[in-house]
Amino acid sequence: MISVTRTAKPAILVANEALWLAELLAATSPEERKAKQDRYRHVEIKLALEAMFHGKCAFCEACITHVAYSDIEHFRPKAHFEHLTFVWENLLLACPRCNQGHKRDHFPLAPDGTSLLLDPTKDNPTEHLHFRWHAQSNTSVVLGKTTRGRTTRRLLGLNRSNLRDERDKQVKRLAVLATYATSDPKAKQILCEAMQANHQFAAFARALAIQHGISCDPAP
- DSSP letters of 121-178? TTS-GGGTEEEEEETTTTEEEEEESSHHHHHHHHHHTTT-HHHHHHHHHHHHHHHHHH
pLDDT tier for residue 133 given thresholds of 50, 70 and 90? very high
Q: Is 204 contained in some domain?
A: no
Q: Is 89 contained in some domain?
A: yes
Counting residues of the chain whose pLDDT is more than 70, the rounded percentage is: 100
Q: Is 79 contained in some domain?
A: yes
pLDDT at 19: 97
pLDDT at 69: 83
Average pLDDT of the residues in 77-85: 96
Q: Is 144 contained in some domain?
A: no
Q: Is 150 contained in some domain?
A: no
| C-alpha torsion angle, residues 119, 123, 125, 128 (rounded to 10) | -100
Number of domains in the chain: 1
Within 10 angstroms of residue 181's Cβ, the number of other Cβ atoms is 23
| pLDDT > 80? residue 66 | no
Q: Is 24 contained in some domain?
A: yes
Average pLDDT of the residues in 6-17: 98
| pLDDT > 80? residue 102 | yes
| pLDDT > 80? residue 110 | yes
Q: Is 93 contained in some domain?
A: yes
What's the 3-state SS for 175-213?
HHHHHHCCCCHHHHHHHHHHCCCCCCCHHHHHHHHHHCC
| pLDDT > 90? residue 220 | no
Q: Is 191 contained in some domain?
A: no
Domain range for 46 is 11-103
pLDDT tier for residue 217 given thresholds of 50, 70 and 90? confident
| pLDDT > 90? residue 9 | yes
Average pLDDT of the residues in 164-183: 95
| pLDDT > 90? residue 13 | yes
pLDDT at 215: 92
Which has the minimum average pLDDT: 22-26, 109-113, 131-135, 216-220? Answer: 216-220
Give how far Cα 80 sits from Cα of 35, 83, 84, 184, 211, Å.
18, 9, 9, 52, 41
What's the mean pLDDT when you consider all of the chain? 95
pLDDT at 67: 72
